[in-house]
Structure 1
Amino acid sequence: MNTFTPRPGSAPLSRQVAAQARMEARLMLRNGEQLLLALVIPVIVLVGGVLAADRLGLDLSGHKPVDVLTPGVLALAVMSTAFTSLAIATGFERRYGVIKRLGSSPLPRHGLLLGKVLALLNVVVLQLVVLVVAGLVLGWRPSLVHPLVSAGSVLVAVAAGTWAFAALGLFVAGVLRAEATLALANLVYLLLMAGGGVVLPTAAYGAAAGPISWLPSAALGDAMRAALVDARLDVTAIAILVGWGVLATLLTARTFRWE
Protein backbone atom coordinates (compact mmCIF):
# COMPACT_ATOMS: atom_id res chain seq x y z
CA MET A 1 0.00 0.00 0.00
CA ASN A 2 1.43 3.33 -1.05
CA THR A 3 1.48 6.15 1.48
CA PHE A 4 1.47 9.88 0.82
CA THR A 5 4.84 11.44 1.57
CA PRO A 6 4.70 15.23 1.98
CA ARG A 7 7.42 17.20 0.24
CA PRO A 8 7.34 20.62 1.82
CA GLY A 9 9.22 23.41 0.11
CA SER A 10 8.81 26.54 -1.91
CA ALA A 11 7.62 26.61 -5.49
CA PRO A 12 10.17 27.08 -8.29
CA LEU A 13 11.40 30.64 -8.64
CA SER A 14 9.77 31.05 -12.05
CA ARG A 15 6.37 30.17 -10.62
CA GLN A 16 6.86 32.51 -7.66
CA VAL A 17 7.86 35.39 -9.95
CA ALA A 18 4.91 34.74 -12.28
CA ALA A 19 2.46 34.75 -9.35
CA GLN A 20 3.97 37.96 -7.99
CA ALA A 21 3.81 39.60 -11.43
CA ARG A 22 0.12 38.69 -11.82
CA MET A 23 -0.70 40.11 -8.41
CA GLU A 24 1.26 43.33 -9.05
CA ALA A 25 -0.44 43.83 -12.42
CA ARG A 26 -3.91 43.31 -10.93
CA LEU A 27 -3.19 45.80 -8.15
CA MET A 28 -2.04 48.40 -10.69
CA LEU A 29 -5.12 47.99 -12.88
CA ARG A 30 -7.54 48.08 -9.94
CA ASN A 31 -6.15 51.34 -8.59
CA GLY A 32 -7.96 54.43 -9.89
CA GLU A 33 -4.91 56.69 -9.63
CA GLN A 34 -2.78 54.14 -11.48
CA LEU A 35 -5.34 53.91 -14.29
CA LEU A 36 -5.43 57.70 -14.46
CA LEU A 37 -1.67 57.84 -14.96
CA ALA A 38 -1.48 54.80 -17.20
CA LEU A 39 -4.35 55.41 -19.62
CA VAL A 40 -6.55 58.43 -19.01
CA ILE A 41 -3.90 61.18 -18.98
CA PRO A 42 -1.97 59.86 -22.03
CA VAL A 43 -5.19 59.57 -24.05
CA ILE A 44 -6.21 63.12 -23.06
CA VAL A 45 -2.76 64.44 -23.98
CA LEU A 46 -2.89 62.67 -27.35
CA VAL A 47 -6.40 63.80 -28.29
CA GLY A 48 -5.93 67.33 -26.95
CA GLY A 49 -2.52 67.72 -28.57
CA VAL A 50 -3.73 66.57 -31.99
CA LEU A 51 -6.83 68.79 -31.90
CA ALA A 52 -4.83 71.82 -30.73
CA ALA A 53 -2.09 71.29 -33.33
CA ASP A 54 -4.62 70.92 -36.13
CA ARG A 55 -6.50 74.04 -35.04
CA LEU A 56 -3.33 76.11 -34.74
CA GLY A 57 -1.90 74.72 -37.97
CA LEU A 58 1.38 73.65 -36.39
CA ASP A 59 3.99 72.09 -38.66
CA LEU A 60 6.22 69.62 -36.84
CA SER A 61 9.20 69.09 -39.15
CA GLY A 62 6.99 68.54 -42.15
CA HIS A 63 5.00 65.72 -40.53
CA LYS A 64 1.37 65.64 -39.49
CA PRO A 65 0.98 66.48 -35.80
CA VAL A 66 -0.61 63.12 -35.03
CA ASP A 67 2.37 61.29 -36.56
CA VAL A 68 4.77 63.10 -34.22
CA LEU A 69 2.60 63.28 -31.10
CA THR A 70 1.54 59.62 -31.03
CA PRO A 71 5.08 58.22 -30.54
CA GLY A 72 5.67 60.88 -27.89
CA VAL A 73 2.53 59.93 -26.00
CA LEU A 74 3.51 56.25 -26.21
CA ALA A 75 6.78 57.25 -24.51
CA LEU A 76 4.81 59.26 -21.93
CA ALA A 77 2.74 56.17 -21.12
CA VAL A 78 5.88 54.11 -20.50
CA MET A 79 7.24 56.85 -18.22
CA SER A 80 3.98 57.17 -16.28
CA THR A 81 3.87 53.48 -15.40
CA ALA A 82 7.54 52.63 -15.08
CA PHE A 83 8.40 55.69 -12.98
CA THR A 84 5.43 57.41 -11.36
CA SER A 85 3.15 54.44 -10.71
CA LEU A 86 5.98 52.18 -9.58
CA ALA A 87 7.50 54.80 -7.27
CA ILE A 88 4.19 55.60 -5.57
CA ALA A 89 3.13 51.97 -5.18
CA THR A 90 6.52 50.90 -3.83
CA GLY A 91 6.68 53.87 -1.46
CA PHE A 92 3.40 52.96 0.20
CA GLU A 93 4.27 49.26 0.22
CA ARG A 94 7.34 50.18 2.26
CA ARG A 95 5.25 52.35 4.58
CA TYR A 96 2.71 49.61 5.31
CA GLY A 97 5.33 46.90 5.70
CA VAL A 98 4.26 44.91 2.63
CA ILE A 99 7.76 44.63 1.20
CA LYS A 100 9.17 43.68 4.60
CA ARG A 101 6.70 40.80 4.88
CA LEU A 102 7.32 39.69 1.30
CA GLY A 103 11.04 39.74 2.10
CA SER A 104 10.47 37.09 4.75
CA SER A 105 8.62 34.82 2.30
CA PRO A 106 10.27 32.18 0.07
CA LEU A 107 10.26 34.76 -2.73
CA PRO A 108 13.79 36.25 -2.81
CA ARG A 109 14.26 39.97 -3.13
CA HIS A 110 15.48 39.78 -6.69
CA GLY A 111 12.39 37.71 -7.46
CA LEU A 112 10.20 40.44 -5.98
CA LEU A 113 11.84 43.09 -8.16
CA LEU A 114 11.60 40.85 -11.22
CA GLY A 115 7.91 40.32 -10.53
CA LYS A 116 7.40 44.09 -10.39
CA VAL A 117 9.22 44.56 -13.69
CA LEU A 118 7.17 41.85 -15.42
CA ALA A 119 3.97 43.42 -14.10
CA LEU A 120 5.13 46.77 -15.47
CA LEU A 121 5.75 45.28 -18.88
CA ASN A 122 2.26 43.73 -18.92
CA VAL A 123 0.67 47.09 -18.09
CA VAL A 124 2.89 48.88 -20.64
CA VAL A 125 1.74 46.48 -23.38
CA LEU A 126 -1.89 47.24 -22.49
CA GLN A 127 -1.16 50.98 -22.57
CA LEU A 128 0.53 50.77 -25.96
CA VAL A 129 -2.36 48.80 -27.46
CA VAL A 130 -4.94 51.34 -26.26
CA LEU A 131 -2.88 54.33 -27.41
CA VAL A 132 -2.05 52.80 -30.79
CA VAL A 133 -5.78 52.28 -31.41
CA ALA A 134 -6.50 55.87 -30.31
CA GLY A 135 -3.74 57.16 -32.59
CA LEU A 136 -5.03 55.22 -35.58
CA VAL A 137 -8.54 56.56 -35.00
CA LEU A 138 -7.10 60.11 -35.00
CA GLY A 139 -5.37 59.48 -38.33
CA TRP A 140 -1.92 58.32 -37.26
CA ARG A 141 -0.02 56.38 -39.88
CA PRO A 142 3.32 55.00 -38.59
CA SER A 143 6.19 54.63 -41.00
CA LEU A 144 5.94 51.36 -42.95
CA VAL A 145 9.13 51.82 -44.97
CA HIS A 146 10.97 49.24 -42.88
CA PRO A 147 8.34 47.63 -40.61
CA LEU A 148 10.75 45.16 -39.01
CA VAL A 149 13.22 47.93 -38.19
CA SER A 150 10.43 50.06 -36.73
CA ALA A 151 9.06 47.19 -34.61
CA GLY A 152 12.51 46.18 -33.37
CA SER A 153 13.43 49.77 -32.56
CA VAL A 154 10.20 50.24 -30.58
CA LEU A 155 10.91 47.11 -28.55
CA VAL A 156 14.45 48.28 -27.78
CA ALA A 157 13.22 51.76 -26.83
CA VAL A 158 10.44 50.43 -24.58
CA ALA A 159 12.80 47.97 -22.88
CA ALA A 160 15.51 50.59 -22.28
CA GLY A 161 12.96 53.20 -21.19
CA THR A 162 11.24 50.82 -18.79
CA TRP A 163 14.58 49.88 -17.24
CA ALA A 164 15.70 53.49 -16.82
CA PHE A 165 12.45 54.79 -15.37
CA ALA A 166 11.75 51.74 -13.21
CA ALA A 167 15.21 52.01 -11.65
CA LEU A 168 14.66 55.72 -11.04
CA GLY A 169 11.25 55.03 -9.53
CA LEU A 170 12.65 52.41 -7.15
CA PHE A 171 15.47 54.76 -6.21
CA VAL A 172 13.02 57.52 -5.23
CA ALA A 173 10.72 55.10 -3.40
CA GLY A 174 13.62 53.51 -1.55
CA VAL A 175 15.03 56.67 0.04
CA LEU A 176 11.98 58.86 0.69
CA ARG A 177 8.90 58.53 2.84
CA ALA A 178 5.69 57.52 1.07
CA GLU A 179 4.17 61.01 1.16
CA ALA A 180 7.36 62.59 -0.18
CA THR A 181 7.56 59.93 -2.88
CA LEU A 182 3.95 60.65 -3.91
CA ALA A 183 4.60 64.38 -4.19
CA LEU A 184 7.98 64.10 -5.94
CA ALA A 185 6.90 61.40 -8.41
CA ASN A 186 3.85 63.40 -9.51
CA LEU A 187 5.85 66.64 -9.72
CA VAL A 188 8.59 65.05 -11.83
CA TYR A 189 5.97 63.46 -14.07
CA LEU A 190 4.26 66.80 -14.72
CA LEU A 191 7.54 68.64 -15.31
CA LEU A 192 8.85 66.02 -17.74
CA MET A 193 5.52 65.84 -19.56
CA ALA A 194 5.49 69.62 -20.04
CA GLY A 195 9.15 70.34 -20.68
CA GLY A 196 11.08 67.09 -20.77
CA GLY A 197 11.05 66.45 -24.50
CA VAL A 198 8.88 63.36 -24.24
CA VAL A 199 5.68 64.41 -26.04
CA LEU A 200 7.22 67.04 -28.33
CA PRO A 201 10.59 66.70 -30.13
CA THR A 202 13.50 68.33 -28.36
CA ALA A 203 13.93 70.69 -31.31
CA ALA A 204 10.65 72.35 -30.28
CA TYR A 205 12.35 73.73 -27.15
CA GLY A 206 14.73 76.04 -28.97
CA ALA A 207 17.92 76.91 -27.10
CA ALA A 208 17.06 74.49 -24.29
CA ALA A 209 17.06 71.51 -26.66
CA GLY A 210 20.67 70.58 -25.87
CA PRO A 211 20.34 70.07 -22.10
CA ILE A 212 16.84 68.57 -22.44
CA SER A 213 18.10 65.90 -24.86
CA TRP A 214 20.11 64.34 -22.01
CA LEU A 215 17.00 63.69 -19.92
CA PRO A 216 15.64 60.12 -19.97
CA SER A 217 12.24 61.47 -20.98
CA ALA A 218 13.66 63.17 -24.08
CA ALA A 219 15.76 60.12 -24.93
CA LEU A 220 12.72 57.84 -24.78
CA GLY A 221 10.62 60.27 -26.81
CA ASP A 222 13.35 60.66 -29.42
CA ALA A 223 13.82 56.89 -29.65
CA MET A 224 10.08 56.29 -30.17
CA ARG A 225 9.82 59.05 -32.79
CA ALA A 226 12.87 57.74 -34.63
CA ALA A 227 11.33 54.26 -34.71
CA LEU A 228 7.81 55.23 -35.76
CA VAL A 229 8.42 58.34 -37.87
CA ASP A 230 11.79 57.65 -39.49
CA ALA A 231 11.91 53.82 -39.19
CA ARG A 232 15.34 53.78 -37.57
CA LEU A 233 17.01 53.02 -34.27
CA ASP A 234 18.23 56.13 -32.45
CA VAL A 235 21.45 54.72 -31.00
CA THR A 236 22.29 57.91 -29.12
CA ALA A 237 18.93 58.02 -27.37
CA ILE A 238 19.16 54.33 -26.44
CA ALA A 239 22.67 54.88 -25.05
CA ILE A 240 21.37 57.75 -22.88
CA LEU A 241 18.56 55.54 -21.55
CA VAL A 242 20.99 52.72 -20.80
CA GLY A 243 23.26 55.18 -19.00
CA TRP A 244 20.37 56.38 -16.83
CA GLY A 245 19.37 52.76 -16.22
CA VAL A 246 22.86 51.76 -15.07
CA LEU A 247 23.24 54.83 -12.85
CA ALA A 248 19.80 54.46 -11.25
CA THR A 249 20.27 50.72 -10.73
CA LEU A 250 23.55 51.27 -8.90
CA LEU A 251 21.99 54.00 -6.75
CA THR A 252 18.99 51.82 -5.95
CA ALA A 253 21.17 48.86 -5.00
CA ARG A 254 23.16 51.04 -2.59
CA THR A 255 20.32 53.04 -1.02
CA PHE A 256 17.07 51.07 -1.21
CA ARG A 257 15.62 50.35 2.24
CA TRP A 258 13.05 47.59 2.53
CA GLU A 259 11.22 49.15 5.47
Structure 2
Amino acid sequence: MTAESTPATPATPATPAAPVAGVGSAFPAGPAGPAARVLAQARFEAVTLLRNGEQLLVAVLLPAAVLIALVHARSISLGGGRRVDLAVPGVLALCVISSAFTGQAISTGFDRRYGVLRLLGVTPLGRTGLVLAKALAVLSVIGVQVVVIGGLGLALGWEPTLRGIPAAVLSLALGTWAFVALALLLGGTLRAEGVLAVANLLWVALLALGGVVIAGTELPARFAGIVALLPSAALGDSLRAAFVEGRALPGAWLVLTVWALVATALARRFFRWSD
Protein backbone atom coordinates (compact mmCIF):
# COMPACT_ATOMS: atom_id res chain seq x y z
CA MET A 1 0.00 0.00 0.00
CA THR A 2 1.44 3.40 -1.05
CA ALA A 3 1.70 5.95 1.69
CA GLU A 4 0.00 9.24 1.00
CA SER A 5 2.41 12.09 0.38
CA THR A 6 1.99 15.09 2.63
CA PRO A 7 1.61 18.29 0.67
CA ALA A 8 4.61 20.62 1.14
CA THR A 9 4.03 23.81 3.06
CA PRO A 10 4.78 26.80 0.85
CA ALA A 11 7.85 28.75 1.96
CA THR A 12 7.25 32.15 3.49
CA PRO A 13 9.02 34.82 1.50
CA ALA A 14 11.82 36.45 3.43
CA THR A 15 11.25 40.02 4.48
CA PRO A 16 13.84 42.21 2.74
CA ALA A 17 16.26 43.86 5.09
CA ALA A 18 16.09 47.59 5.31
CA PRO A 19 18.89 49.15 3.33
CA VAL A 20 21.70 50.55 5.40
CA ALA A 21 22.61 54.07 4.31
CA GLY A 22 26.02 54.18 2.74
CA VAL A 23 26.48 50.37 2.67
CA GLY A 24 25.43 48.98 -0.69
CA SER A 25 22.35 51.15 -0.66
CA ALA A 26 20.89 52.82 -3.69
CA PHE A 27 19.60 55.63 -1.49
CA PRO A 28 21.79 58.44 -0.17
CA ALA A 29 22.17 58.96 3.55
CA GLY A 30 20.20 62.19 3.23
CA PRO A 31 20.64 65.69 1.88
CA ALA A 32 23.79 67.50 2.89
CA GLY A 33 23.41 70.19 5.51
CA PRO A 34 23.84 73.89 4.75
CA ALA A 35 27.43 73.95 6.05
CA ALA A 36 28.41 70.94 3.94
CA ARG A 37 26.88 72.50 0.83
CA VAL A 38 28.73 75.79 1.38
CA LEU A 39 32.04 74.00 2.00
CA ALA A 40 31.63 71.84 -1.09
CA GLN A 41 30.90 74.86 -3.27
CA ALA A 42 33.77 76.81 -1.68
CA ARG A 43 36.15 73.94 -2.47
CA PHE A 44 34.93 73.90 -6.06
CA GLU A 45 35.29 77.68 -6.41
CA ALA A 46 38.80 77.69 -4.92
CA VAL A 47 40.05 74.82 -7.10
CA THR A 48 38.55 76.49 -10.18
CA LEU A 49 40.33 79.75 -9.37
CA LEU A 50 43.68 78.06 -8.81
CA ARG A 51 43.40 75.96 -11.99
CA ASN A 52 42.54 78.96 -14.16
CA GLY A 53 45.68 80.18 -15.89
CA GLU A 54 44.58 83.81 -16.11
CA GLN A 55 43.50 83.89 -12.46
CA LEU A 56 46.72 82.20 -11.38
CA LEU A 57 48.67 84.84 -13.27
CA VAL A 58 46.86 87.68 -11.53
CA ALA A 59 46.78 85.98 -8.13
CA VAL A 60 50.36 84.71 -7.78
CA LEU A 61 52.72 85.36 -10.67
CA LEU A 62 52.14 89.10 -11.09
CA PRO A 63 52.37 89.87 -7.33
CA ALA A 64 55.57 87.80 -7.14
CA ALA A 65 57.03 89.74 -10.08
CA VAL A 66 56.01 93.04 -8.46
CA LEU A 67 57.71 92.01 -5.22
CA ILE A 68 60.98 91.12 -6.92
CA ALA A 69 60.89 94.36 -8.94
CA LEU A 70 60.23 96.53 -5.88
CA VAL A 71 63.04 94.95 -3.90
CA HIS A 72 65.59 95.53 -6.66
CA ALA A 73 64.30 98.72 -8.36
CA ARG A 74 66.03 101.45 -6.34
CA SER A 75 64.51 104.23 -8.44
CA ILE A 76 61.09 103.74 -6.75
CA SER A 77 60.88 105.21 -3.24
CA LEU A 78 59.05 103.04 -0.71
CA GLY A 79 59.76 105.18 2.35
CA GLY A 80 62.15 104.86 5.25
CA GLY A 81 63.28 101.37 6.18
CA ARG A 82 64.47 98.22 4.47
CA ARG A 83 62.93 97.88 1.01
CA VAL A 84 61.94 94.25 1.39
CA ASP A 85 60.22 94.93 4.73
CA LEU A 86 58.14 97.66 3.09
CA ALA A 87 57.53 95.80 -0.16
CA VAL A 88 56.14 92.50 1.19
CA PRO A 89 53.15 94.00 3.10
CA GLY A 90 52.25 96.08 0.06
CA VAL A 91 52.36 93.05 -2.22
CA LEU A 92 50.22 91.08 0.25
CA ALA A 93 47.66 93.89 -0.03
CA LEU A 94 47.93 93.59 -3.82
CA CYS A 95 47.21 89.86 -3.50
CA VAL A 96 43.96 90.61 -1.68
CA ILE A 97 42.92 93.04 -4.41
CA SER A 98 43.85 90.51 -7.11
CA SER A 99 41.81 87.64 -5.65
CA ALA A 100 39.02 89.34 -3.72
CA PHE A 101 38.30 92.06 -6.27
CA THR A 102 39.70 91.49 -9.76
CA GLY A 103 39.35 87.70 -9.88
CA GLN A 104 35.95 87.61 -8.17
CA ALA A 105 34.48 90.44 -10.22
CA ILE A 106 35.48 88.80 -13.51
CA SER A 107 34.30 85.31 -12.52
CA THR A 108 31.01 86.68 -11.15
CA GLY A 109 30.40 88.71 -14.32
CA PHE A 110 30.89 85.75 -16.63
CA ASP A 111 29.00 83.33 -14.36
CA ARG A 112 26.08 85.76 -14.49
CA ARG A 113 26.35 86.07 -18.27
CA TYR A 114 26.21 82.30 -18.84
CA GLY A 115 23.38 81.74 -16.36
CA VAL A 116 25.47 79.90 -13.76
CA LEU A 117 24.50 82.23 -10.94
CA ARG A 118 20.80 81.94 -11.75
CA LEU A 119 20.96 78.14 -11.71
CA LEU A 120 23.00 77.94 -8.51
CA GLY A 121 20.71 80.44 -6.83
CA VAL A 122 17.71 78.08 -7.08
CA THR A 123 19.58 74.99 -5.88
CA PRO A 124 19.55 73.92 -2.20
CA LEU A 125 22.78 75.92 -1.86
CA GLY A 126 20.75 79.12 -2.20
CA ARG A 127 21.94 82.62 -2.90
CA THR A 128 23.24 83.24 0.60
CA GLY A 129 25.15 79.96 0.54
CA LEU A 130 26.66 80.86 -2.83
CA VAL A 131 27.92 84.21 -1.53
CA LEU A 132 29.36 82.54 1.59
CA ALA A 133 31.04 79.89 -0.57
CA LYS A 134 32.64 82.56 -2.77
CA ALA A 135 33.92 84.38 0.32
CA LEU A 136 35.44 81.17 1.73
CA ALA A 137 37.02 80.37 -1.64
CA VAL A 138 38.62 83.82 -1.76
CA LEU A 139 39.98 83.39 1.77
CA SER A 140 41.45 80.02 0.77
CA VAL A 141 43.17 81.52 -2.28
CA ILE A 142 44.47 84.44 -0.20
CA GLY A 143 45.88 81.92 2.26
CA VAL A 144 47.82 80.31 -0.59
CA GLN A 145 49.02 83.74 -1.72
CA VAL A 146 50.20 84.66 1.78
CA VAL A 147 52.23 81.44 1.96
CA VAL A 148 53.77 81.94 -1.50
CA ILE A 149 54.51 85.67 -1.22
CA GLY A 150 55.55 85.35 2.42
CA GLY A 151 57.93 82.53 1.54
CA LEU A 152 59.37 84.53 -1.35
CA GLY A 153 59.75 87.55 0.93
CA LEU A 154 61.61 85.50 3.54
CA ALA A 155 63.90 84.22 0.81
CA LEU A 156 64.60 87.85 -0.16
CA GLY A 157 65.40 88.79 3.45
CA TRP A 158 62.04 89.90 4.83
CA GLU A 159 62.00 90.24 8.64
CA PRO A 160 58.38 90.80 9.77
CA THR A 161 57.55 92.02 13.27
CA LEU A 162 55.81 89.03 14.83
CA ARG A 163 53.80 91.00 17.38
CA GLY A 164 51.99 92.66 14.48
CA ILE A 165 50.56 89.39 13.12
CA PRO A 166 47.13 89.72 14.88
CA ALA A 167 46.71 93.24 13.49
CA ALA A 168 47.76 91.99 10.03
CA VAL A 169 45.21 89.14 10.15
CA LEU A 170 42.40 91.56 11.02
CA SER A 171 43.53 93.91 8.24
CA LEU A 172 43.48 91.05 5.73
CA ALA A 173 40.00 90.00 6.86
CA LEU A 174 38.58 93.53 6.61
CA GLY A 175 40.29 94.07 3.27
CA THR A 176 38.90 90.81 1.92
CA TRP A 177 35.39 91.76 3.00
CA ALA A 178 35.62 95.22 1.42
CA PHE A 179 37.02 94.03 -1.90
CA VAL A 180 34.71 91.00 -2.23
CA ALA A 181 31.74 93.32 -1.69
CA LEU A 182 33.11 95.71 -4.33
CA ALA A 183 33.65 92.76 -6.70
CA LEU A 184 30.06 91.56 -6.27
CA LEU A 185 28.83 95.11 -6.85
CA LEU A 186 30.83 95.40 -10.07
CA GLY A 187 30.29 91.83 -11.31
CA GLY A 188 26.59 91.92 -10.50
CA THR A 189 25.74 95.14 -12.32
CA LEU A 190 27.87 95.52 -15.46
CA ARG A 191 27.97 93.24 -18.47
CA ALA A 192 30.77 90.66 -18.49
CA GLU A 193 32.92 92.50 -21.05
CA GLY A 194 32.61 95.72 -19.06
CA VAL A 195 33.52 93.92 -15.84
CA LEU A 196 36.64 92.48 -17.48
CA ALA A 197 37.80 95.88 -18.70
CA VAL A 198 36.97 97.85 -15.54
CA ALA A 199 38.38 95.26 -13.11
CA ASN A 200 41.72 95.04 -14.91
CA LEU A 201 41.93 98.82 -15.33
CA LEU A 202 41.27 99.37 -11.63
CA TRP A 203 43.92 96.76 -10.74
CA VAL A 204 46.54 98.71 -12.67
CA ALA A 205 45.34 102.07 -11.30
CA LEU A 206 45.38 100.89 -7.70
CA LEU A 207 48.81 99.34 -8.17
CA ALA A 208 50.22 102.63 -9.48
CA LEU A 209 48.34 105.28 -7.49
CA GLY A 210 46.19 103.48 -4.93
CA GLY A 211 48.65 103.44 -2.04
CA VAL A 212 48.95 99.66 -2.19
CA VAL A 213 52.63 98.84 -2.76
CA ILE A 214 53.76 102.48 -2.59
CA ALA A 215 52.47 104.33 0.47
CA GLY A 216 50.40 107.43 -0.14
CA THR A 217 53.04 109.51 1.64
CA GLU A 218 55.46 108.67 -1.19
CA LEU A 219 53.03 109.87 -3.89
CA PRO A 220 52.69 113.50 -5.04
CA ALA A 221 51.11 115.67 -2.35
CA ARG A 222 48.06 116.49 -4.49
CA PHE A 223 47.06 112.81 -4.41
CA ALA A 224 47.76 112.09 -0.74
CA GLY A 225 44.41 113.23 0.69
CA ILE A 226 42.33 111.27 -1.80
CA VAL A 227 44.52 108.17 -1.69
CA ALA A 228 44.25 107.98 2.11
CA LEU A 229 40.49 107.41 1.78
CA LEU A 230 40.80 104.48 -0.64
CA PRO A 231 40.40 100.91 0.65
CA SER A 232 43.59 99.95 -1.18
CA ALA A 233 45.67 102.49 0.75
CA ALA A 234 43.98 101.59 4.03
CA LEU A 235 44.85 97.92 3.50
CA GLY A 236 48.42 98.62 2.40
CA ASP A 237 49.09 101.08 5.24
CA SER A 238 47.61 98.79 7.91
CA LEU A 239 49.70 95.82 6.75
CA ARG A 240 52.88 97.94 6.63
CA ALA A 241 52.20 99.25 10.14
CA ALA A 242 51.56 95.72 11.42
CA PHE A 243 54.56 93.98 9.85
CA VAL A 244 57.11 96.82 10.01
CA GLU A 245 56.24 98.53 13.30
CA GLY A 246 54.11 95.88 15.01
CA ARG A 247 51.21 98.27 15.60
CA ALA A 248 47.59 98.63 14.55
CA LEU A 249 46.03 101.42 12.49
CA PRO A 250 42.44 101.85 13.74
CA GLY A 251 41.88 104.67 11.25
CA ALA A 252 42.70 102.37 8.34
CA TRP A 253 40.40 99.70 9.77
CA LEU A 254 37.61 102.29 9.94
CA VAL A 255 38.13 103.17 6.25
CA LEU A 256 37.99 99.49 5.27
CA THR A 257 34.87 98.89 7.37
CA VAL A 258 33.03 101.86 5.85
CA TRP A 259 33.89 100.71 2.31
CA ALA A 260 32.82 97.15 3.18
CA LEU A 261 29.46 98.21 4.65
CA VAL A 262 28.61 100.61 1.82
CA ALA A 263 29.64 98.14 -0.92
CA THR A 264 27.70 95.33 0.76
CA ALA A 265 24.56 97.46 0.98
CA LEU A 266 24.86 98.54 -2.67
CA ALA A 267 25.54 94.99 -3.83
CA ARG A 268 22.44 93.71 -2.01
CA ARG A 269 20.38 96.45 -3.64
CA PHE A 270 21.64 96.35 -7.24
CA PHE A 271 23.08 92.85 -7.76
CA ARG A 272 21.44 91.03 -10.70
CA TRP A 273 21.59 87.23 -10.82
CA SER A 274 21.22 87.13 -14.59
CA ASP A 275 21.65 89.48 -17.55
> TM-score, normalising length from structure 1?
0.94
- Counterpart for residue 134 of structure 1: 152
Q: Structure 1 residue 3: deviation in Å? A: 2.2
Q: Structure 1 residue 22: deviation in Å? A: 0.3
Unaligned regions of 5+ residues in structure 2, if any? 1-14, 21-26
- Counterpart for residue 129 of structure 2: 111
Q: Give distance in 2, aligned partners of 1:206 and 1:102.
A: 46
* 1:67 and 1:140 in contact (8 A); partners too: yes
Q: Give distance in 2, aligned partners of 1:202 and 1:166.
A: 23
Return closer, same or farther for 1:64/1:215 CA change in 2, 3 Å cut-off. Answer: same
Q: Which amino acid aligns with 2:129?
A: G
- Counterpart for residue 244 of structure 1: 259
- Aligned residue-pair number: 252
* 1:94 and 1:100 in contact (8 A); partners too: yes
The structure carrying a bigger helix percent of its residues is 1
Q: Which amino acid aligns with 2:174?
A: A
What does 1:27-176 align with in structure 2 at a 5 Å threshold? 27-53=48-74, 56=75, 58=77, 60-61=79-80, 63-144=81-162, 147=163, 150-176=164-190
Q: Which amino acid aligns with 1:164?
A: A
What does 1:214-233 align with in structure 2 at a 5 Å threshold? 214-233=229-248
Q: Which amino acid aligns with 1:45?
A: V
Q: Secondary structure at the match of 1:120?
A: helix
Match 2:201 to one of 184, 187, 200: 187
Q: Which amino acid aligns with 1:153?
A: A
Structure 1 residue ranges, 4+ long, deviating more than 6 angstroms after superposition: none
Q: Structure 1 residue 10: deviation in Å? A: 3.1
Q: Structure 1 residue 125: deviation in Å? A: 0.3
* 1:157 and 1:223 in contact (8 A); partners too: yes
Q: Which amino acid aligns with 1:142?
A: P
Q: Which amino acid aligns with 1:215?
A: L
- Mark the structure with the bigger radius of gyration: 2
Q: Structure 1 residue 206: deviation in Å? A: 3.1
- Percent identical among aligned pairs is 48
Return closer, same or farther for 1:253/1:21 CA change in 2, 3 Å cut-off. Answer: same
Q: Give distance in 1, aligned partners of 2:142 and 2:125.
A: 24
Q: Which amino acid aligns with 2:226?
A: P
Q: Which amino acid aligns with 1:232?
A: R
Q: Structure 1 residue 160: deviation in Å? A: 0.2
Q: Structure 1 residue 9: deviation in Å? A: 5.6
1:159-197: CA deviation from partner (whole Å, max 9, x where unpaired): 000000000000000100000000000000100001000
